Chain A
Amino acid sequence: MNALLLKGTSTTPSITLDADKGIFEISGRSVADSPSEVYLPVMQWLNAYAREPRSTTLFVFKLEYFNTASSKVLLDTISALSFIRNTKVLWYHQEDDEDMKEAGEEFFELVNIPFEFKTY
């Protein structure tokens, strides 16, 4: 399937969803006022990928900032991953960024999918 590659801006994240290369990553800033527009193609891509996923999927979130308007769409994205077999979320946060770690823990509480917390 075609990769979804979106370059990040000052308010939107870089998105790389490439099934052939096994790269699944959302990184940077997600602080747009209307983030649904950004995440709609992500949801569509994941729905298609879920029909024929790789044997394992490691989905990386490496966000510098995300606003509360993005919280819901991030939760929706992570929830969509729970329909893909053998998927794990790798939630990255900067070493001293307890708030970003807690944000990942909150998502983990709300979904039925394994998380691994990593620092960068």
Chain B
Amino acid sequence: MTYYSVDLSEGITESFFKELENFAGSALQPRKRLIGITIELYQNIRRHASNSEHSKLFIQRNGSAFSVVAVNSVSAGDVSYLRKKIKYMNRLDRVELKREHTKILSSATRSKKSGIGLGLYRIAIQSASGLLPVFRQINKNLFTFSLHITLTGRS
């Protein structure tokens, strides 16, 4: 089992791609999924972090399977919304997730923080086993939000 921790201070550079490609191995589809998902999570952390000191993004490789864990801080007021949204998404199968993704894309307007809400759907479509969220309270106003994603070859 090997681990890779993504440097959240560097931006998405050539070395970001090279290091992830080396870590992911030669199989095209899992490598591209891993990198695509890591980019989404990376940008999600930078876009939405309430406090970057709690942010982390790391990947565990076990044979041909990958687990990606993104840790971010979110305000207490967002926790209920995120729980409900992920619970809803985890009830959908791949076809239903793709349908929702298409629906959001076709009617998308950008949110205040620049996303259009597609990122979690794309991640869920490519994940082998749904999205596993873990919330931990830091203080009255802040939680850490850890999102665990498992990737195999073809989902």
Chain A positions within 8 Å of B, measured between CB atoms, are 10-11, 31, 33-34, 65, 67-69, 71-72, 75, 94, 96-100, 102, 106, 109-110
Contacts and interface: CB of A to CB of B under 8 A. Distances in A.
Contacts of A102: 98
A72 B116 contact: yes
Interface of B: 12-14, 16-17, 28-29, 32-33, 35-36, 39-40, 43, 46-47, 98, 101-102, 105-106, 108, 110, 114-116, 118-119, 121-122, 126, 154
Contact of A109 (B16, B39, B102): B102
Contacts of A109: 102
Contacts of B122: 68
B118 A68 contact: yes
Given A10-B16, A72-B116, A65 B36 contact: yes
A68 B12 CA distance: 15
A119 B29 CA distance: 14
A20 B39 CA distance: 36
B116 A71 contact: yes
A34 B114 contact: yes
User: Top 9 A-B pairs ranked by shortest CB distance?
Assistant: A68-B118, A96-B28, A68-B119, A72-B108, A10-B14, A11-B12, A31-B39, A110-B106, A10-B13
Contacts of A11: 12
B146 to A, nearest CB: 20
Contacts of A94: 28
Nearest to A100: B32
A73 B115 CA distance: 12
A69 B114 contact: yes
B105 A98 contact: no
Contacts of A96: 28-29
